[in-house]
Structure 1
Amino acid sequence: MLERSFVLYLLTILSFIGIKAQESTPEISYSGKPQNYIIADIKVTGDLNNDPKILANLSGLKVGQEIQVPGEDISDAIDKYWEYGLFSDIKISADKIEGNKIYLNIYLQERPRLTDINFSGLKKSEIDDISGKISMMRGSQVTPYLVDRAEKYIKQHFVDKGFFNTEVSIVQRDDADTPNHVYLDITVDKKDKVKVNSLEFYGNDVFSDYKLNRFMKKTNEKGKILNFFRTKKFVSEEYENDLKTVIEKYNEEGYRDAYIEYDSISRNSDNTVDIKIGLSEGSKYYFGDISWVGNTVYPGPYLSEKLRIKKGDVFNQTLLDERLFIDDDAVHNLYMNDGYLFSNIEPVDIKIYNDTVDLEMRVYEGQQATIDEVIIKGNTKTHEHVVRRELRTKPGELFDKSELIRTVRELSQLGHFDPENINPVPIPDPEKGTVDLEYNLVEKANDQIELSGGWGGGMFVGSLGLKFTNFSVRNIFNKEAWRPLPTGDGQTLSLRAQTNGKYYQSYSFSFTEPWLGGRKPNSLSVSVYHSIQTGTNSSYYYGNPYSSGMGSYGGYGGYGGGYGNYYQPPMEEDPDEHMKVTGLSVGFGKRLSWPDDFFQFYTQASYQRYDLKNWVYFLMENGNSNNLNFKVMLSRNSIDNPLYTRHGSNFSLGLEFTPPYSYFDDQDFSDPDMPDSERYKWVEYHKWTFKGNVFKPLDNASKLVLMTKVEGGFLGYFDENRKSPFEKFVLGGDGMSGYSYYGSETIGLRGYENASLTPYNEEGRQDGNIYNKLALEMRYPLTLQPSATVYGLLFAEAGNSWSDFRDYNPFGLKRSAGVGVRIFLPIFGLMGIDWAYGFDEVPGRPNASGSNFHFVIGQNF
């Protein structure tokens, strides 16, 4: 820099000598000594892409400023331009001098701008990974710093992936079509991955070589069967983390002095490495006396009880950290949940004797922190009041970590934000004793469109559904709110229509307001539906038409279809058979605070009117039937994430019932000649259901999750001669009829054909009045991005259904197992496919079990 300044200083002197020789007036006597001038004008010249006025300001020189020539003012201006790194050539000269006024000319040659980057040697996915991170956009200036940084980043990117010998070449090529623009040709030669040839341990007695190899999660020897599914590439960062893991495992077993004595990595000619690790294990230690000092809020014995570590236990540093700070019921969380945001606990070794360590827990409680401001960011679509009404952390209240975590859960349940990116940030102010809470949200699309069709049983059925989960009724008449629909108030509006043109039509509408009145989380739900289904020629079906067909259109067939290999003639419409159902329901839900605030109570009143003509699939074949029923349900839902649940449970106990008309009706319903239209003019029943799911993560990253499920139902009657012809349980298959088949409840059991596990009465009609189902499901996510949630699963299921309680056998279950995948796309909802194998034969239905595929649309098992 000094040499550059000296050259510029000399050029400045020579330029002014040239000016003096060219000008006739005024005479300028220049003796080489600095002279003072007033800047009369500043002109910027060169091949420029930016505004000359802006570039002139970068020099720090201003019109009217007095400077010395030669002097530091000019050299400082040149230095500033170099510091910006945007120019490849800089010159400052004088156009003319008039008296004590000087007219400056700043010549700048801007560095070239980027036309495009051409990669070679990489796959498209690799280019996509790199392009967004090297910070070189089209039109930006190409500086040596950016080029060097890009080269270093690309190398490090592939080193992290095990390509230790990656070579990167970046060549700058002029763009012949655009002046002062260049192309960057980036050539990457990744070479081969460096793999681990051998991994040897020395000095280990506590753990065997096998166990130590298992601790090295990311550094594994090639060529060993036990490492078949593990990575064998050598990555320095992962290797260092594995060494730390080894020491942590020693610490967990009481060897708190263990350390890596040495490690060596030698390169081989075949692009592999040999690793040798020497260990010093030290002695095994145990917890001694644990005392507490500085605690005034909670007594020492109470804190020791919460710590759950006793004298004589193996000294486990990981366990100590978990019980102090990490677990939900950790000791420090007692303070954090009671406002003591600034508190801290420091465990100190006060005495080490033989193999025992006495600890003193030094507690700094500080003052309680009050929430000052709650800031909501990122809700670009959802109105702020929808977010704030779910907050459990409000201004003026004491800080509570458990309520902060619960708020994240409640915001996830809304479905309007990406649950993986709900990020609450506490901003504490210890001097004021307050904390601001900033909730950073990422909106995600959750309106859904269903446009699907299926072929089965000789017909095509199309479905069109629209579900708006963030609707706003109050803005319907606000033209500016239609983008394309009024949204933001968290209401749900659903419209659905299905038809095959001739035989089946179904229409439904539903609306849910989650906060009726806006002050309390009391929900109101309203739904209206109507379906029309005509019959087909009797020779087509063997038994019930709803028991075979395609998966997402279960009413007309399954995967393989029917009860055997029999001839199916072309379907023909039978206008003398039909079922028409019209229904209306109104429901009210309320969040409870007891036994805890995960409980909800829901009640619903519904009415359905059935119009049947020669419909042989129910106990009732002809006439009109009315169903006025009431439902009450108590549920508890504590799951953390509705899309990919890791923790929590979901239980529900429901009762649906009609008025017991038989108790105050004088008619004799035991009369076999009583017409169905009279017997079932008003149906009566009581229906009990129970469902429960529990989710438990099986790894530290909470990715591998085990879901256990149990459910069952019982349909009872008030009069044995007036059993309900409707509301039966239909078990087996994918668990969805695909269209709205009102009058029964479908339950899936994979590995068996649709409805194949439903019993029949003596008249050959479905009569499932009791069912049980158990399920285990292992889930692992493939991607949890806002644009798509995808996870794979392994499952095992067992279940069965019975007609009468005297036949009920909770151990007589049909078993199955299989694999599947689930995909949640915001615009389409949940979709999936399962393959399952049913292990048990179904009497009278030889083809019902075995290998079966099942499709899932809009639901989960």
Structure 2
Amino acid sequence: MKAGSKFLNAVSAFALSAGVVASGAGVLVLASAPVAEAATVRSVQVRGAQRAGEEAVRSNLTIRPGVAFSNADIDESVKRLYSTGYFSDVRITVAGSALVVTVSENQLVNQVVFNGNRKIKDDKLQGVVQTQPLGPYNQALVNSDIQRIKEAYSAIGRSDVEVTTQTASVGQGRVNIAFVVNEGERTKIADITFVGNQAYGDGRLKAVIATKESGPLSFLTRKDVYSEDKLRADEEALRQFYYNHGYPDFRVISSQAVLDESTNKYNISFTVEEGTQYNFGEINVESTVSGISGEDLKGLVETRAGTTYNAREIQKTMDAISARVASAGYPFARVTPRGDRNFENHTVGVSYLVDQGERAYVERIEVRGNTRTRDYVIRREFDFSEGDAFNQGMITRAKRRLEALGYFTSVNISTSQGSAPDRIVVVVDVEDQPTGSFGIGAGYAAGGDGFLVEASIEEKNFLGRGQFIRVAVGGGLDDARSYNLSFTEPYFLGYRLAAGFDLFKSQTSSNDDYEYSEQGITLRVTAPITDDLATTFRYTYKQIDYDDDGGLGSDGLAFTPDDNVSGPYAYLIDKGDFTQSSVSQTLTYNTLDSQTLPREGFYITGTHEFAGLGGDSDFYKISARARYFHLLSTEADLIGSIAVGGGHVFATDGNLNVFDQFTIGGKQIRGFENDGIGPRTVDHEDPLGGTTYFTASAEMSMPMPGLPEDIGVRAAVFADAGTLYGNDVNLRGDSAQGTGMSLRASVGAGIMWASPFGNIRFDYAEPIVKEDFDETQEFRFSMSNQF
């Protein structure tokens, strides 16, 4: 249109008329030279706007009566009218002192329907297309909607989808439109290969990337869907993997996806250059920040000379130094790692340079892509808000926190220039993922309680608010039942405090005419101390009910062995109702690199508990457990772990109750029932628990031989050992066995599968050291899944 205007200006000196015409793809103006530069009209007449209305047309014009206008105003008016989508043709002419705008209206969309779609439902497609009922029918918009539908099908692996449209007039300028979809066959991935890899085999690298080869269960996982964005993400995953395993020179030379149209399958190939593996050389910290020396910061360094080069450890060091300097009053401080490569001995020395950095402030934080998680849930993971000082280290920590939530498949944080040179806009792009799960746990005790099962449902991001809720129900033989409800608010009262409660109830009854149950509530608050260390405070109130149809003992108050009652513990309880009120504190140290399949890191917990705030229990209890994971072989993806634990309880007033002592079994030492080891009464053979326990475990897992690694099946071998001993319960005339420090041990094997149905684990353990009165349970099965 502008080109046309320039042409008209050139010939306007020879024109005799003063008409102005605008139509279709361009604007044609014939006017005298003065009119071409500036003209006025006294009125604006609109013709053809039956449904849109004359005022709607006038409101989109830049030309006003009595105000001079030019060819540029005509161009802009035509563009605005077309951009509304309501008009198929626009003509602007000047008749005397009037501007005449003649429009031809597009038909209105009466109804939008979808035919032939089975894999994507109507409501999903309705959110994809922009053509909507009561809106204008616009062919350009319809063509764009066709492309959007194709992209939606490509995202689920149907790249050969065909989409056409059908229209039907329903009168009065209205039309029904149908998008007709031929979904075609699902596009699959036949093969993923790597070229140039020497340190790691194809199987190990396939486990790193998100794209997977098609298999029998791929229709459930959808991990065999090809997309360009996913391929780029896989490239980045490979880079991070190599950077964290000593290969700073690694690069992806190319990645290609070739579609075999005869089979409708992709063949994907990554060509890589690994480079040489390096270790860390000399490590230094240099600071130009006043009052903070490099020596003061060396204790924060995670990288150690002689260890394998690891980009993750460099980033953790930068984060720690940045946080320390910022807390000292330098919010703009910048930490820059500088590498000093030695090609002869294959080392990389690292110097961390700390300087003041440029002053910059956060103008705003933009959150994009979150279709379920609410904005404030994302914003609260940042240590700054709009107007605060900008610090790159805080960006990195926020990204790590968002990823650790488990709410998103991807988190990307970028920055852009704000409205001033010292203003920065922080852009957060996320993609929500399912955060709910259901789980089934089961076990079988031969000759014991038989088959036991527990089902649970949990949601980590309830209603997109970041809240956690879990409901679990369990059962077994002898009418055994258990019920649990947990809720956690991760930001209580706006602070980084995770507050919540647990309601629980369990009961056991028997044909031997007794019923035992316990129920109660736990209130808890968890506060972070550092990124790796947190503390939890709890208050627990528990009520234990014991009902035996045989009535009370011969003294009218308590049972004794001579009363010959059938229920366990009956002769050890003074009354039918028993309460326990306690407070406890737990410290948790967590440096695991993954919460689902950790390969490196520690997970350590320590708890001390005091009971005696009312109720019938008076004791002090302390326990701890530590587990360490280490990748024994990166090539074989061989993961080793060791765990140790222990605890002790003593009475602060009188004797312990039978319910106050520790009980351990299959959860700590596989091959035994949950309360299958430790002291028992001689006459009734009831488990008493113990005052002291120690456990140790070692496990090694690797991908299942003979199966592709990306299927997610792993085999494990393990050995468990431990002991539970001591007794401080008044046995009321009975005696105890197994109170000495007697060792129990078991060995076994397990199979773990990260299946489309969830994480499934099956263990078989054989006790190799046990007492005659111990209760064993060789098989255990568990499953959990995301929904």
Regarding TM over 0.5, the answer is yes
Given candidates 758, 761, 777, the residue that maps to 1:849 is 777
User: How many equivalent residue pairs?
Assistant: 703
Tell me, yes or no, if structure 1 residue 762 matches structure 2 residue 682.
Answer: yes
Answer yes or no: is the 8 Å Cα contact 1:424–1:437 preserved in 2: yes
Among 689, 705, 719, the residue aligned to 2:623: 689
Partner amino acid, structure 2, of 1:623: D
Q: Deviations over 1:305-335 (max 9, x none)?
A: 959598xx99x9xx58666657655887877
For the pair 1:839 / 2:766, whether they are aligned, the reply is yes
Match status 1:40 vs 2:43:
yes
| Deviation digits for residues 96-128 of structure 1 (CA, Å, limit 9, x no counterpart) | x7xx653735333125437214243x5424877
- Mapped pair 1:115 → 2:49: no
**2:62 maps to which of 60, 63, 73:** 60
* C-alpha spacing 1:230/1:371, structure 2 compared with 1 (3 Å): closer
CA distance in 2, matches of 1:799, 1:326: 36
- Equivalent residue for 2:574, pick from 623, 627, 647: 623
The change in CA–CA distance for 1:655 and 1:52 in structure 2 (over 3 A counts) is same
- Code of the residue aligned with 2:177 in structure 1: it is Y
Match of 1:651 in 2: 605
**Closer/same/farther in 2, CA of residues 335 and 445 from structure 1, 3 Å limit:** same
1:106 maps to: 102
1:614-656: CA deviation from partner (whole Å, max 9, x where unpaired)? 5741173563387777655452355899997978745123244
Partner of 1:550: none
| Corresponding position of 1:176 | 170
User: SS at the partner of 2:144?
Assistant: helix
> Equivalent of 1:187, from 168, 181, 186?
181
What is the CA distance between 1:75 and its match in structure 2?
6.8
Q: Is the 8 A contact 2:365 2:426 kept in 1?
A: yes
Alignment of 1:338-737 (within 5 A): 339=330, 341=332, 343=334, 345=336, 365-367=355-357, 369=359, 393=384, 537-538=511-512, 598=533, 600=535, 602=537, 613=552, 616-618=567-569, 620-621=571-572, 623-624=574-575, 631-636=583-588, 638=590, 649-656=603-610, 687-692=621-626, 710-716=644-650, 724-732=657-665
- What's the counterpart of residue 24 of structure 2? none
Quick one: which amino acid aligns to residue 689 of structure 1? S
Quote the offset at 1:181 in angstroms.
2.5
SS state at 1:808 partner = coil
**Rg larger in structure:** 1
In structure 1, how many angstroms separate the alpha carbons of the residues matched to 2:459 and 2:268?
A: 58
Pairing of 1:199-214 with structure 2 (within 5 A): 211=201
CA shift in 2, pair 1:334/1:448, >3 Å? closer
Structure 1 residues 597 and 396 mapped into 2: Cα distance closer, same or farther (>3 Å)? farther
Q: Decide which of 802, 808, 817 is 2:741's aligned counterpart.
A: 808
Could you give the per-residue CA deviations for residues 402-423 of structure 1, whole angstroms, max 9, x where no partner exists? 667777889999x9x9588999
Q: CA deviation at 1:792?
A: 11
Output the amino acid matched with 1:88: S
| 1:328-378 C-alpha deviation (Å, 9 max, x unpaired) | 5588787777746474748699x9999999999896945465878998999
Distance 2:591 2:142 in 1: 48
| Structure 1 partner of 2:90 | 90
Query: Does the 8 Å contact 1:370/1:396 carry over to 2?
Result: no
C-alpha distance in structure 2 between counterparts of 1:199 and 1:691, whole Å: 42
Q: Over residues 473-529 of structure 1, what are the superposed CA-to-partner deviations in whole Å (9 max), with x where a residue is unaligned?
A: xxxxxxxxxx9xxxx999x999999999x999999999999999x899999999999
Closer/same/farther in 2, CA of residues 14 and 141 from structure 1, 3 Å limit = farther
Deviations 1:194-219 (A, max 9, x none): 76689796xx6xx5599579758779
Root-mean-square deviation over aligned CA pairs: 7.8
* Structure 2: tracts of 5 or more residues without a match: 21-29, 440-447, 553-564, 704-711, 727-737
Which structure has the highest strand share of the two?
2
Letter matched to residue 777 of structure 2: S
1:453 paired residue number: none
**Partner residue in 1 for 2:559:** none
Matched to 2:657, the amino acid is S
Q: Which amino acid aligns with 1:170?
A: T
Q: Does the 8 Å CA contact 1:218/1:238 hold for their aligned counterparts?
A: no
Distance 1:489 1:192 in 2: 35
C-alpha contact 1:87 1:109 (8 A) present in aligned 2: yes
1:86/1:224 Cα in 2 relative to 1: closer, same or farther (>3 Å)? closer
Q: 2:142 matched to 1:147? A: yes
Residue 743 (structure 1) aligns with: none
Where do residues 257-406 of structure 1 align in structure 2 (5 Å cutoff)? 339=330, 341=332, 343=334, 345=336, 365-367=355-357, 369=359, 393=384
Measured against aligned partners, the alpha-carbon deviations of 1:652-689 in whole angstroms (never above 9, x if no partner) come to 23244669xxxxxxxxxxxxxxxxxxxxx977655443
Q: Distance in 2 between matches of 1:512 and 1:264?
A: 44
Displacement after TM superposition at 1:761 (Å): 1.9
Residues 268-298 of structure 1 show CA distances to partners (whole Å, capped at 9, x for unaligned) of 8666788999999999999999999995667
Q: 1:688 to 1:794 in 2, by over 3 A?
A: farther
User: Aligned partners of 2:211 and 2:472: how far apart in 1?
Assistant: 54
Give yes or no for contact 1:496–1:507 (8 Å, CA) kept in 2. yes
Amino acid at match of 2:587: S
Structure 1 residue 266 displacement after superposition: 10
Q: 1:425-454 CA distances to partner (integer Å, 9 max, x unpaired)? A: 88888989787989999999999999xxxx
Gaps (5+ residues) in structure 1? Answer: 18-29, 451-455, 471-482, 539-573, 660-680, 734-746, 781-790, 825-830
Instruction: Give the AA of the match of 2:165.
Output: V
Superimposed CA distance per residue, residues 85-105 of structure 1 (whole angstroms, 9 cap, x where no aligned partner):
5421224468xx7xx653735
1:643–1:219: structure 2 CA closer, same or farther, 3 Å change rule?
A: closer
Displacement of 1:762 in angstroms is 0.4
Write the letter of the residue equivalent to 2:109.
R
